[in-house]
């Protein structure tokens, strides 16, 4: 990498390379997060006939006041791009599980609402989802490791929000 390619503020600085333990941990973290997503998606498709992304949309709507959220809020809390969440909501509308309408307060934004049929689907699928999460994330850990995992997640999320080129949950999926 020549001097022009070195990130701002790092000109001439030696890279802080990962040591072998850090490198192994980094690779394991990447594999774990990717495989966790695959596992949850496979479970949801097998047991509920929908991708994990759709389940997450239903779950977030179920927790919102009146089971309704602005599309922009739904995108933020599901860490999805606006276009991806719009596509998911369109598919969920086709199934009758979600209904989209204009925001009543200003008429500018769109709102997604969980229908009674969507609530029923979510109620039937939530137990299997929670069991899979418990089986692959929490059951293999001791109580101490579960507490450490929570602390680690919070520390990394904090670093992501406060470092150059970091990201916040409300901008996930943005390019």
Show the domain range for 87. 22-160
For 36-78, write each residue's pLDDT tens digit.
Answer: 999 999 999 999 999 999 999 999 999 999 999 999 999 999 9
> What percentage of the chain has pLDDT greater than the value 90?
75
Q: Please report, for residues 7, 13, 23, the alpha-carbon distance to residue 16 in angstroms, rounded to integers and kept in the order given.
A: 13, 9, 12
| 165 part of a folded domain | no
Tokens of 102: 């204009």
| 2 part of a folded domain | no
Residue 34: give its domain's CATH number: 1.10.10.10
| 1 part of a folded domain | no
Structural domains counted in the chain: 1
| 8 part of a folded domain | no
| 140 part of a folded domain | yes
For 86-117, write each residue's pLDDT tens digit.
Answer: 999 999 999 999 999 998 777 678 999 999 99
Tokens of 135: 């089986």
| 13 part of a folded domain | no
Q: Give pTM, 2 decimals.
A: 0.81
Strand partners, 100: 112
| 171 part of a folded domain | no
Do 72 and 109 touch, CB atoms closer than 8 A? Answer: yes
Q: How many helices (H) and strands (E) does the chain have?
A: 6, 3
């Amino acid at each position: 990498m020549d001097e022009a390619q070195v990130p701002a503020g790092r000109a001439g600085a030696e890279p802080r390379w990962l040591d072998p333990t850090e490198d192994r941990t980094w690779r394991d973290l990447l594999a774990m997060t990717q495989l966790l997503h695959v596992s949850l998606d496979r479970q949801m498709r097998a047991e509920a006939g929908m991708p994990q992304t759709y389940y997450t949309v239903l779950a977030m709507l179920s927790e919102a006041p009146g089971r309704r959220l602005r599309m922009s809020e739904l995108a933020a809390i599901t860490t999805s791009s606006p276009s991806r969440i719009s596509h998911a909501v369109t598919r969920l509308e086709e199934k009758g599980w979600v209904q989209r309408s204009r925001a009543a307060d200003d008429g500018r934004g769109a709102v997604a609402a969980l229908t009674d049929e969507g609530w029923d689907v979510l109620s039937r699928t939530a137990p299997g989802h929670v069991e899979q999460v418990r089986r692959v994330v929490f059951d293999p850990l001791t109580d101490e490791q579960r507490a450490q995992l929570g602390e680690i997640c919070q520390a990394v999320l904090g670093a992501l929000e406060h470092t150059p080129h970091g990201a916040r949950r409300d901008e996930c999926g943005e390019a």
